[in-house]
Structure 1
Amino acid sequence: MSPGTRIASLAVITASCFALCADGGGVLELQPRAGDPIRELTAEQRDLFDIGRVLYSTPIPATEGMGPIFNKSNCQSCHSNPVGGWGNASVTQFGISDKGSFTMVPGESQSLLQEFGVSEFCMEIIPSAANFTAIRMTNSSMAFGMVEAVPDAAIALLEDPTDANGDGVSGRIHWVRPLEETNSSSPLRVGRFGWKAQVATVLSFSGDATRNEMGITNRLLMVENAPNGDSARLAQCDPMPEP
């Protein structure tokens, strides 16, 4: 096919796409841009969306509960392209790797390094006992509400751990309990979010990130992370009472 023929064919395809995408009145209706609200929101839902986007981007100072150790002071600092999407911010995980298994460093309360502190005294370091570190980039958190709206049963129907249909993809559900579910005998939920699908709901994801990335305790996670697991140092760095 000559270059001229290819260009002509592309023009025909493009025109056809516009014709197919246009509604009955011939007006092309484009999808909302990434990060914009969907059209089906009610006026009340749109107000909540706009309020949430402002709060998502508003830095929280230490005087209002941030810290004493943290990575960022608001959500948009990580999820920035666009608001709620991917970002170029990274976090560091550390621990002990031994023959393919991973464990936390003894005495540490978590494997996530908090890059900043309200003072130099409060800042964390990677302990010398750690022999493994990993850098993780920010994933998108857009459309999480829509993902959560998919019923667990619908996802379970697609589980294919042995690739029985031969499409080259094997999927295994990670069943987890949401942070907001306090009944230990309640059914587990399908994990949807996080690097290991370890989070089932948007509420759990938000509570976890608020405490572990911004150092803000909440009703789901009411215990503060101590700098490098040092509770004595935490008492000096975080005089504010928990909510």
Structure 2
Amino acid sequence: MRVYYKLFILPLLLFITSCNTDDSYTALTPEIGEELSGGDNTSFNFSAEAFGFAAPNLSFEERVTFGVGNSLFNQSWVTAPASTTARDGLGPFFNARNCSGCHFKDGRGRASAFAGELSHGLLLRLSTPGTGVNGGNLPEPTYGGQFQDNSILSQMDEGIFEVVYEPKVVTYSDGTTVSLRSPTYTFPLLNYGAMVNNVQISPRVANQMIGLGLLEAVPETTILALADPFDTNGDGISGKANYVYDIASGTNTLGRFGWKANQPNLRQQVAGAFSGDIGISSSLFPDENCPTGVDCSQIPNGGTPEIDNANLDKVTFYSSTLAVPARRNFEDQIVLEGKQLFNEISCTSCHVALLQTGNHEIAALSNQTIRPYTDLLLHDMGDDLADNTPDFLATGNEWRTPPLWGTGLIETVNDHTNLLHDGRARNVEEAILWHGGEASPAQERFKELSSSERSKIIAFINSL
């Protein structure tokens, strides 16, 4: 009996000890379908081409249109007149020769890495105080609404701009420091004279192209339901909708594209990029961009307009139907703990995880459950990130919440990890530390976390 008692109690003690150990930790589990960031429009290719795949649920005919749009997106435009009449009319002033010059591999641009290097997807919007035609900005009198540092051979380019960085040190609660970089923009060469003293300079980095059609398919009522411009719930977050001019309809409507949500739809966004970035006219933007003293009417062009509606629509379709890469490591415990902390410090107050699309003319984009981590609203991000440039209803401190999907693949696709509207943040950590204004409480909570906890949040964001 004594022997039996000893054999019985030992396994029991081991069992009790084992249970106590297991009770100290509960494994987290992902949500059902959490890896499907773009719903049915999700891709599982994580290579250097990760941002360039068509949504898998397109029809055969739609895939043909996607392919043509892809070709137009990547083709280099040439100076007019040329034998290749379908792609002549470049400039006369421009920033890039094709769409992929800023969105390389459909990805994200960056600021110049050294003085004198031409931009790789960073451009400078120019304006002066006041409201222009249809509620937009007043252009700088000499250089217009965008500084163009390239030109065709018969013209001098507008000049050169450089980015100069000053260090800004941030200290965590545990005493660890991080040195951020604060940019200043200078113009060592201006070929058409000085700018006005009150010029407003707004840097804008080209963002990754994925999932844009899905964001267009989110119902306006969904976005407006997330808005709280007067912070009536008292949480310190006052998301605001921008209302902008829709050229095709001639009306003011909800803005949802661009760093300040200053474009109402993808077609106008694409046409605006053709005009400002490449110097290609369209039915929406028929005028050439020329600095004061240059007569554009005397410079050969590629037709009126230089890109017709059929081709503009193909590029718009392509831009609408790029698949969203799936989440990686979404079942990993560190990533799941990072997601939980991301929620706990209130990052999801602006970076809303889950949205539902409504009906869209492209059937593949309709009625999809997506996880873009944005509310598509404007938020005051504080003085440090301000460009001091109003844009329709956006103030100089306000920016649209950028979608976070694809963040962890930017390095794979574009060989850098620069973030924020001007690329000043060299990684996710720096981007978080630049958050101010409405995001200050979340940023302060992040700074109070342990090094391990901060790393988990970064791991989560890089899984998106």
TM-score by length of 2: 0.41
Residue 229 (structure 1) aligns with:
292
Amino acid across the alignment from 2:72: L
Contact kept? 2:143, 2:158, Cα under 8 Å:
no
**Is 1:105 aligned with 2:140?**
yes
Structure-2 separation of matches of 1:147 and 1:218: 24
CA deviation string 1:140-180 (max 9, x = no partner)? 33211111111112211111112333444211111123222
Structure-2 separation of matches of 1:178 and 1:96: 22
Structure-1 separation of matches of 2:126 and 2:34: 49
Structure-2 separation of matches of 1:225 and 1:177: 20
Structure number with greater CO (CA < 8 Å, separation at least 6) is 2
For residue 49 of structure 1, the aligned residue among 60, 66, 78 is 66
Q: Please state whether the residue corresponding to 1:199 is helix, strand or coil.
A: coil
- Which structure carries more strand by proportion? 2
Residue 170 (structure 1) aligns with:
238
Q: CA deviation at 1:67?
A: 1.0
Q: CA deviation at 1:37?
A: 2.0
Structure-2 separation of matches of 1:215 and 1:30: 33
TM-score by length of 1: 0.74
For residue 195 of structure 2, the aligned residue among 122, 129, 139 is 129
Alignment of 1:1-243 (within 5 A): 31-32=44-45, 33-63=50-80, 64-80=88-104, 83-88=105-110, 89-95=121-127, 104-106=139-141, 108=142, 110-119=144-153, 121-125=155-159, 126=190, 127-131=193-197, 132=199, 133-182=201-250, 184=251, 188-226=252-290, 228-230=291-293, 232-238=294-300, 241-243=303-305
Q: CA deviation at 1:34?
A: 3.2
Contact kept? 2:51, 2:209, Cα under 8 Å:
no
Q: CA deviation at 1:109?
A: 6.3
Contact kept? 1:175, 1:189, Cα under 8 Å:
yes
Amino acid across the alignment from 1:151: P
Structure-2 separation of matches of 1:212 and 1:91: 10
How many pairs align? 214
Contact kept? 1:67, 1:238, Cα under 8 Å:
no
Contact kept? 1:122, 1:234, Cα under 8 Å:
no
Structure-1 separation of matches of 2:224 and 2:238: 13
Structure-2 separation of matches of 1:53 and 1:237: 29
Structure-1 separation of matches of 2:303 and 2:63: 34
Contact kept? 2:143, 2:195, Cα under 8 Å:
no
Structure-1 separation of matches of 2:78 and 2:33: 50
RMSD (CA atoms): 3.2
Q: Please state whether the residue corresponding to 1:146 is helix, strand or coil.
A: helix
Structure-2 separation of matches of 1:221 and 1:165: 41
Change beyond 3 A, Cα 1:21–1:160:
closer
Q: Which runs of 5+ in 2 are unaligned?
A: 1-20, 36-41, 81-87, 111-120, 131-136, 160-189, 306-464
Q: Please state whether the residue corresponding to 1:204 is helix, strand or coil.
A: helix
Structure-2 separation of matches of 1:70 and 1:223: 13
Q: CA deviation at 1:198?
A: 0.7
Contact kept? 2:128, 2:140, Cα under 8 Å:
yes
Contact kept? 1:152, 1:189, Cα under 8 Å:
no
Contact kept? 1:204, 1:220, Cα under 8 Å:
yes
Residue 25 (structure 1) aligns with:
none
Structure-2 separation of matches of 1:206 and 1:124: 23
Q: Please state whether the residue corresponding to 1:200 is helix, strand or coil.
A: coil
Contact kept? 1:210, 1:216, Cα under 8 Å:
yes
Give me the identity figure in percent.
27
Structure-2 separation of matches of 1:95 and 1:76: 26
Structure-1 separation of matches of 2:51 and 2:301: 41
Q: Which runs of 5+ in 1 are unaligned?
A: 23-28
Change beyond 3 A, Cα 1:137–1:238:
same
Amino acid across the alignment from 2:53: D
Structure-1 separation of matches of 2:202 and 2:220: 31
Structure-1 separation of matches of 2:238 and 2:43: 35
Structure-1 separation of matches of 2:203 and 2:296: 25
